[in-house]
Amino acid sequence: MSTQAIEIILVVSIAAIIPAVILLLSGFLGKKTNDLIKLSSYESGLDKVIGTAKERFSIKFYLIAILFILFDVETIFMFPWAVNFKTLGLNGFIEMIVFIVILLAGFVYVIKKGALKWD
Amino acid sequence: MQDIKKESITIAKIKRFFPESILEVNLADNDDCIIIKKEANVEVLSFLKTDADLLFDGLMDVTCVDYLKHPIKRKERFEVVYQLYSYSKRHKIRIKCPVSVKDTTIKSVSHLWKSANWGERETYDMYGITFVGHENLKRLLTHHEFIGHPLRKDYPTKKRQELSANDSLFDQMDVLLKKKGLK
Amino acid sequence: MGLESFLGDSIITTSLDEIVKWGRKNSLWPMPFGTACCAIEYMSTVSSVFDVSRFGAELVRFSPRQADLLIVAGTITYKQAPILKRIYAQMPEPKWVISMGACASSGGFYDNYCTVQGIDQLVPVDAYIAGCPPRPEAVIDAIIKIQEMIDGQGTELTHDRSKRAKIYIGDDSEMMKKAEA
Amino acid sequence: MAHTPIKPQELEKEFYKDLHTDLLFLNLGPSHPASHGTLRTFCALDGETIKASVLEIGYLHRGFEKTIEKKTYNQVIPYTDRLNYVSSIMNNVGFSKAVEKMLGIQITDRCIFIRVILSELMRVADHLVCIGANLVDIGALTNFWYLYNQRETIYTILEKLTGARLTNSFTRIGGLYRDLYPGFEGDIKFALKEIEKAIMDVTKLIKKNKIFLERTQDVCAVSKEDAISFGFTGPCLRASGVEYDIRKAHPYYYYDQFDFDIPVGQVGDTYDRMFVRFEEMYQSISLIRQYMKKLPGGPINTDDKRAAMPDKSNTYNNIEGLINHFKLVFEGVEVPAGEIYDSTEVANGELGFYIVSDGSGTPYKVKVRPPCFYIFSAFSDMIEGRMIADAVATLGSLNIIAGELDR
């Protein structure tokens, strides 16, 4: 096990343990009162909630979400390139520009199609 | 006195067009008031709103007075009060309509001014005057399980009434959605 | 005290209760149930001149789920009473209630058909603040009183508090039946 | 049947046609950060757009009218503080002006000047909180600190003068609670400079801010006719383009002798409502300075026996002064039987008092004409077809104060 692997495992495990401890600890210490009113949903202090959260809403929300994920992943791919920008040199730069241009074409298509038009 | 002459246009016009429905006129400095029969309230008020010289386009306030314990005896117990103002002509008038306790109804003017909608709902809530033709005459300030009309002089000040659960407002929303065709 | 001498002076030991009390005391997240003039005075308490964040009570939460200090600021009418009861019921334990101002504490000078004469008829109150509206220093003084209360009570005290709260909320047996129906 | 090819654009319409969405019912309810505590908007949402909304008020109906039926006129003044508790001296001035007009009492010039100075100061304080809270609803929190701190400078002046920060029942029927304290001019000058600096900072921050302009321009615009039909008055009416201000239309308290102009918007959207208030603050500050320059000397209470207390030397030395003092305290100011409707221009619009008196010391009926009651009744029409975020931004710009709304 090279020292690097141990370090990574150490960081990941600590990062997992600390939030778990914090969340579970408050579960043990606090006293839970689970009567019916407490568990009912919070509707600005009113009691009658009409309908459930699983109502059907317009598809444009889904479109916006998917497009966001798509271009977000694109930026994630740029990070490794940006980190060792010098070592990759010119051809690395050109490859990334090609990658960006392809996605830009996709973006222009989305705008022309009007997927971002809201109302 | 320029002020009095301008006011008299409103009163002169009403006297000319509705002589039979005027019960009383009392002039005050920039605060005139005409008492008319309650049956004629919609005609007089729509006349006041549409007439070219008067143009009372703002209904400032709708309220009611309960004269049960007032030293000066009046024929009817209640009196519905409309306070009008003209934004363009810059003059104001107060129209009062006596309403008897036996038949506390009066025609609604919420089709003339939109501010009458809530003004009349509050007057119904506080005094029990039913405005015939009002599309949503419900209590406005007190809660929906309140019995009686608190601002009447015979309602004891400290008679408290609890509320078990809030109004879901779904009946009003139903009517609104049907009107909009979304239901 | 063998343990502490062994560990040297850079480590101190304390009981779990003390840590929990220290944590709760210095991070009271208030839920301002502001209805009237006291809410404006509460805004002064929160803003930078009187600055309640010196006492850890500055992060104002508007949902009962994330709050542990309910500050009822303003007059509570009978139309607002069920809402106040529900908001109090929906707050997780441990929770404290400050009744800010004369109207919340006793109905103030509105002794009439529609004002609740004091919110202790609705929810158990821990600290009352007099004044109409009370000065921001009085609100901070009430928060300090609540902190002293937290110091005084053990963490297990929250058990009987929830029983006491049940008298106010009313037993929800008929609610249960309605839910099953 | 020839199959007509569907053009690509129609294809989408075909696709969306039977894809109906359900209405989601949501309560922007009484306990909600954007609803300032006691307003409830029950809206039917399609996604984020509000299709229809029903309003419910009355959560702060404290029975103002019923309670004051047994109070003397001077005892009613602390109740009028709690109507629009953000600018309480303006309510006091409105109420006492109506009662003085009914009694036919002429108050002294110094009292008029002090009342106007404090009313304009409270108008600035009201606009500071309204704009600050509205910007918080839109998300610009820093402005709230800038503006609210200037409200604290006004609080310090009011504390020194009236003893209370917020609910300072300062006027009496026929006069004032007390005269100005000696260092008043210096404090006012300092406060006005501070306020102007703060307003300058905030306008610089938001005037060219793209997000702010996007969030407030053309949002819930109210047309002129709608504004008049709903009974709008004050900044919300002037934002829609109707130039109506009681201080200019029916001048009272020497407003016609001082020059100030009335800012009027064009579109009537949230942006106009806010900048009308900004402009009004400048006008009020210049008005305060003009009134301060011409502040006359002399007594602050009228010498009319029916309303003003006799000074202490009379009360102790002769029997008439004693009786007069005793009657005024016990039975209160006796107003002859009659009625009046009198209105003043407060921060939100026209605050009217319809007072019916029965000759005794206690009013028979006092109906308050609250400006924000009629403005809020238009709210459900304003937010129809708009998004929730617009509704929240607009609600802040209307400056709905629950104490005045539900009385």
Mean pLDDT, chain D cut into blocks of 10 residues (407 residues total): 64 67 85 80 89 93 93 93 93 94 92 95 94 91 90 93 92 92 94 94 92 92 92 94 92 93 93 94 95 92 84 85 87 90 94 93 94 93 91 92 91
Residue type at D315? T
Any chain C CB within 8 A of the CB of A47? Answer: yes
Of the candidates D177, D180, D172, the residue with the CA atom closest to the CA atom of residue D307:
D172
Provide, as residue numbers in chain A, all residues whose Cβ is less than 8 Å from the Cβ of C94.
Answer: 30-31
Given this model, what pLDDT does residue C167 score? 44
Given this model, what pLDDT does residue A116 score? 83
Contact partners of B by the rule of 3+ C-beta pairs under 8 A? A, C, D
3-state secondary structure of D120: helix
Starting at the edge strand found earlier in the chain, the sheet holding D49-56 runs: D24-28, D40-46, D49-56
Find where tokens 């929800």 sit. C172
> How far is the C-alpha of D132 from the C-alpha of D126, rounded, in Å?
10
A-B C-beta contacts closer than 8 Å: 10
CA geometry: angle at D232 spanning D247 and D345, to 5°?
20
> How far is the C-alpha of D265 from the C-alpha of D241, rounded, in Å?
5
Domains and CATH numbers, chain B: 9-179 (3.30.460.80)
The pTM of the full predicted model, rounded to 2 decimals, is 0.89
Q: How far is C124 from chain B (nearest CA, A)?
A: 18
Find where tokens 């703060």 sit. D198
Look at the alpha carbons of D233, D239, D245, D249 in this order and tell me if their dihedral is positive or negative: negative
Which residue, among C112, C123, C139, would best test binding to D if mutated, counting the most D CBs under 10 Å from its CB?
C112
Cβ distance of C113 and B143 shorter than 8 Å: no
Cβ distance of D46 and A57 shorter than 8 Å: yes
Provide, as residue numbers in chain B, all residues whose Cβ is less than 8 Å from the Cβ of C79.
Answer: 142-143, 163, 166
Of the candidates D401, D393, D396, D406, the residue with the CA atom closest to the CA atom of residue D50:
D393
- For range C108-131, the mean pLDDT: 92
DSSP state of D401: -
Given this model, what pLDDT does residue A4 score? 87
pLDDT tens for each residue of A67-78: 999 999 999 999
Give me the CATH topology for the region D64-406. Answer: Cytochrome-c3 Hydrogenase; chain B (1.10.645)
Higher pLDDT, A116 or B95: B95
Q: How far is D305 from chain C (nearest CA, A)?
A: 30
3-state secondary structure A30-82: CCCCCCHHHHCCCECCECCCCCCCCCCCCCHHHHHHHHHHHHHHHHHHHHHHH
Kindly identify which residue of chain C lies nearest to residue B165, measuring between CA atoms: C82
Cβ distance of B165 and C112 shorter than 8 Å: no
Kindly identify which residue of chain C lies nearest to residue D38, measuring between CA atoms: C35
> How far is the C-alpha of C159 from the C-alpha of B10, rounded, in Å?
72
- Name the residue among D22, D31, D49 with its Cβ closest to that of A56: D22
CA geometry: angle at B176 spanning B175 and B182, to 5°?
105
- For range C57-67, the mean pLDDT: 88
Contact D147, D155 (CB under 8 A): no
Provide, as residue numbers in chain B, all residues whose Cβ is less than 8 Å from the Cβ of D356.
Answer: 65, 70
Structure confidence at residue A119 as a pLDDT band (50, 70, 90): low
- Name the residue among D33, D61, D403 with its Cβ closest to that of C37: D403
Any chain A CB within 8 A of the CB of C81? Answer: no
- Name the residue among C74, C83, C133 with its Cβ closest to that of D166: C133
Kindly identify which residue of chain B lies nearest to residue D30, measuring between CA atoms: B166
Q: How far is D164 from chain C (nearest CA, A)?
A: 9
Kindly identify which residue of chain C lies nearest to residue D401, measuring between CA atoms: C36
- Name the residue among D61, D354, D374 with its Cβ closest to that of B141: D61
pLDDT tens for each residue of A47-56: 877 777 777 7
pLDDT tens for each residue of C146-168: 999 988 876 554 444 445 444 44
Residues 6+ apart with CB under 8 A from B149: B125, B126, B127, B128, B155
> How far is the C-alpha of B11 from the C-alpha of B31, rounded, in Å?
12
Any chain A CB within 8 A of the CB of D19? Answer: yes
- For range B41-63, the mean pLDDT: 92
Contact partners of A by the rule of 3+ C-beta pairs under 8 A? B, C, D
B2 pLDDT higher than 60: no
Provide, as residue numbers in chain C, all residues whose Cβ is less than 8 Å from the Cβ of A35.
Answer: 89, 166, 169, 172
Cβ distance of D148 and C44 shorter than 8 Å: yes
Q: How far is D276 from chain A (nearest CA, A)?
A: 30
Given this model, what pLDDT does residue A58 score? 79
Kindly identify which residue of chain A lies nearest to residue B166, measuring between CA atoms: A46
Q: How far is D15 from chain A (nearest CA, A)?
A: 11
Provide, as residue numbers in chain B, all residues whose Cβ is less than 8 Å from the Cβ of C114.
Answer: 142, 150, 160
ipTM of the complex: 0.89
Any chain C CB within 8 A of the CB of A33? Answer: yes
> How far is the C-alpha of D100 from the C-alpha of A72, rounded, in Å?
69
- For range B52-61, the mean pLDDT: 91
Cβ distance of D47 and A45 shorter than 8 Å: no
Which residues lie across from B132 on neighbouring strands? B107
Q: How far is B145 from chain C (nearest CA, A)?
A: 9
Instruction: Spell out the domain ranges in chain D.
Output: 64-406
Which residue numbers of D have CB closer than 8 Å to C's CBs? 29-33, 36-38, 58-63, 66-67, 78-79, 82, 85-86, 129, 144-145, 148-149, 151-152, 155, 165-167, 402-403
Given this model, what pLDDT does residue C170 score? 47
